[in-house]
Amino acid sequence: MKYETQKLAYPYFLAAMGLFVAQVLGGLLAGTVYIFPNLLAEAVPFNVIRMIHTNALIVWLLFGFFGAAYYLVPEETETEIHSPLIAKLQFWLFLFGAAAAVLGYLFGIHEGREFLEQPLWIKVAIVVVALMFLFNISMTLLKGRKTAVSLILVMGLWGLALFFLFAFYNPSNLALDKMFWWYVVHLWVEGVWELIMAAILAFLLIKMTGIDREIVEKWLYVIVSMTLFTGLLGMGHHYFWIGTPGYWQWIGSIFSTLEVLPFFAIVVFAFMVVRKGGRDHPNQAAMLWTLGCAVLAFFGAGVWGFMHTLAPINYLTHGTQVTAAHGHLAFFGAYVMVNLAIITYAMPHLRGMQPYNQVLNMWSFWIMSSGMVFMTLTLTAAGILQTHLQRVMGISFMEVADEIGFFFILRGLSGVVVVIGVLLFVYATLSTDKAQVRVGGMKPQAAE
Amino acid sequence: MSEGLTKSAARNIFFGGTIFFLVILVALTVHSYGYIEKNSTDVAGITPGVEQGKAVWERHSCINCHTILGEGAYYAPELGNVWARYGGFEDADTARDGIKDWIRSQPTEVEGRRQMPHFEINEQELDALVDFFKWVNTIKTQNWPPNVAG
Ligand code: HEM
Ligand code: HEM
Ligand SMILES: [Fe+2]
């Protein structure tokens, strides 16, 4: 670690991991209610569990992005962070907002649009936090070296804040409400967040393979170009059936199919770089998460996204368990894994430790990833059956739910595996491993 | 694929192209806004009742169990066409009473069956909710859902 202010990332990563645990426990509880539906039905109903699960996910991913930015921007710009004080204030304000939101949900204090359940004052606090952060990071960038990595990262973060502003617009016409709701949700995960992900992956590849920065940065521009050129109009795949014009069926189908390209390019590029640059970086676990992220983002977003993105298919699968299958693997492969990659990479530096628990961390990779992949497969099976029974045969929702119950048991079991993987990850990242020195024969690590 | 491409050319393509596609998106959004107001939704039909119904719907976060027009959670039935499912287009009064009774009588507490909680919703709010469902069911959705099961 070359810059003192990179340490600002540390509390962000800790909070991210803490909320990650809460998120998957919430998911596991929701999955359990699917199996035992009378559980907690009045005390903490499914809708409250679910909003805790999804909100904790989004908040911890944001904590991770903030942390990643505080960690890599000084190194990229070769400048200390503009104001460490703002970074610390921002951290506590965000943590307070997140805790207040979750506590409020338990007492039934929330708004009512999916993912945007935060009460108004918390939404305002989120904007304040984002502005503090953006001011701090942008000032740093202005002072320092402007690399493509830092530029695209900061652009992504600005976009994140900008599109969140649509969360404040809630027209009484449901069709309009939905049209602009996607300006937050779709333009986040299939737009600006992809910029953030690509920038973080580029940073990791530069650091870990020693490949020429020029090559990586040129590719980075190519990849984020593909992302936005396809992803902006790809929003059409949500405008098929909500009262929007019919031409979206063509635009949405075509452009969202092309959205697969950047995910494919990331896989090709990541493996090419690693082959050329060599993979002898001592932090093998970080390398594993980096490559794993490229691969599972491609499957979750690319393959599982394409599966239901053509209008005639989406006509049948829209709003079924197929969507849940895709939502899980896409979020996991892209945004969970990129966060775990940068955390795995940065933590040893931040904690000033040479030996870290690489073997355990790599185990957590395989456990968590196989759990998520299996969960996706069970939900896909459930979703295809549901589509057939409900959308083709016209059997009622609740009868269909009974028919596919078996798959929800399997989903629950894979959820247990995921939770074990997550706990192991946190343990591996925060513990000090003595065995590591024996097993892996780790060399003391250079600054990079 | 990018051998001949320089980094600064790639950057210019990125910025230029992004602005280009953003402008198209905004233009189509403006057009779709007009289409929704003029063609696909009954704007005049958004009575105070419909508006209040939407607010009740949001206050209780029904969306985190149900889908509406296919978006939301996958735990409970689609409600964008619940009006049709209750036969509202044939017999509005029976459908209205049916939906209100349904909501009032929750939870079923049937063992092993997914539960919908009891909500503190007064008579007037219940009517507003039904107004909302009825209005939503008139949105022209390119004929989605495929059948009345939702
Ligand atoms: C990392 C990127 C992505 C993430 C995190 C993601 C996540 C999600 C989530 C959470 C939903 C459900 C939203 C809701 O609650 O209604 C969704 C829906 C959808 N996604 Fe993605 N997605 C990604 C990329 C893609 C891509 C690249 C495609 C197409 C190739 C795609 C196609 C779709 C479609 C068609 C739906 C609508 C499903 C429905 O009709 O019910 N997604 N996505
Ligand atoms: C890191 C891992 C996870 C991620 C990224 C994740 C992400 C998500 C997302 C994005 C949604 C909203 C779904 C949508 O609208 O399509 C969701 C819902 C849900 N998740 Fe997870 N989740 C994770 C882990 C888990 C685990 C371990 C379980 C345990 C079984 C679980 C169970 C659920 C359930 C039951 C829902 C509600 C689905 C519904 O609406 O019926 N999740 N999750
Ligand atoms: Fe999308």
Residue A326 alpha carbon to ligand 1 centre in Å: 6
Contact B74 A321 (CB under 8 A): yes
Q: Which two tokens stand for residue A29?
A: 């509880």
Q: Does A390 touch chain B (CB under 8 A)?
A: yes
Chain A residues in contact with B82 (beta carbon < 8 A): none
Q: Does A153 touch chain B (CB under 8 A)?
A: no
Report how many Cβ contacts below 8 Å link chain A to chain B.
207
**Residue B3 pLDDT:** 64
**Residue A146 pLDDT:** 96
Whether B32 and A239 have beta carbons less than 8 Å apart is answered as yes
Best residue among A32, A48, A53, A426 to mutate for probing ligand 2's pocket (most ligand atoms within 8 Å of CB) is A53
Burial state string for B104-134 with b = 16 or more CB within 10 A and e = fewer than 16: eeeeeeeeeebbbbebebeeebbbbbbbbbb
- Tens-digit pLDDT profile for chain A (448 aa)? 889 999 999 999 999 999 999 999 999 999 999 999 999 999 999 999 999 999 999 999 999 999 999 999 999 999 999 999 999 999 999 999 999 999 999 999 999 999 999 999 999 999 999 999 999 999 999 999 999 999 999 999 999 999 999 999 999 999 999 999 999 999 999 999 999 999 999 999 999 998 999 999 999 999 999 999 999 999 999 999 999 999 999 999 999 999 999 999 999 999 999 998 876 888 999 999 999 999 999 999 999 999 999 999 999 999 999 999 999 999 999 999 999 999 999 999 999 886 467 899 999 999 999 999 999 999 999 999 999 999 999 999 999 999 999 999 999 999 999 999 999 999 999 987 655 444 444 444 444 4
**Residue A447 pLDDT:** 40
Q: Which two tokens stand for residue A355?
A: 């030996």
Rounded to the nearest 10 degrees, the angle between the axes of helix B92-104 and helix B123-136 is 120
Ligand 2 atom at minimal distance to the Cα of residue A323: 16
**Residues 63-82, chain B: which have Cβ within 8 Å of A?**
63-65, 67-78
Q: Does B52 touch chain A (CB under 8 A)?
A: no
pLDDT tens for B62-113 read 999 999 999 999 999 999 999 999 999 999 999 999 999 999 999 999 999 9
**Residue A413 pLDDT:** 98
**Residue A433 pLDDT:** 61
Whether the predicted pLDDT of B1 surpasses 70? no
Residue B70 alpha carbon to ligand 3 centre in Å: 14
Distance CA A25, CA A179 (A): 32
Residues 6+ apart with CB under 8 A from A290: A201, A204, A205, A208, A270, A341, A345
Q: Got the DSSP string for A33-54?
A: HHHSTTTTTTTS-HHHHHHHHH
Q: Got the DSSP string for chain B?
A: --TT--HHHHHHHHHHHHHHHHHHHHHHHHHHHHHIIIIIS-GGG--HHHHHHHHHHHHTTGGGTBEETTEE-SSB---TTHHHHTTTTT-HHHHHHHHHHHHHT-----TTS---------HHHHHHHHHHHHHHTTS--TT-SSSTT-
Domains detected in chain A: 280-448 (1.20.210.10)
Ligand 1 atom at minimal distance to the Cα of residue A319: 41
Ligand 1 contact, A198 CB (< 6 A):
no
Ligand 2 atom at minimal distance to the Cα of residue B64: 40
Q: Does B46 touch chain A (CB under 8 A)?
A: yes
Q: Does A233 touch chain B (CB under 8 A)?
A: yes
Percent of chain B with pLDDT over 90: 97
| ipTM over 0.90 threshold | yes
Contact A390 B72 (CB under 8 A): no
**Residue A79 pLDDT:** 97
Distance from CA of B54 to the nearest CA of A (A): 7
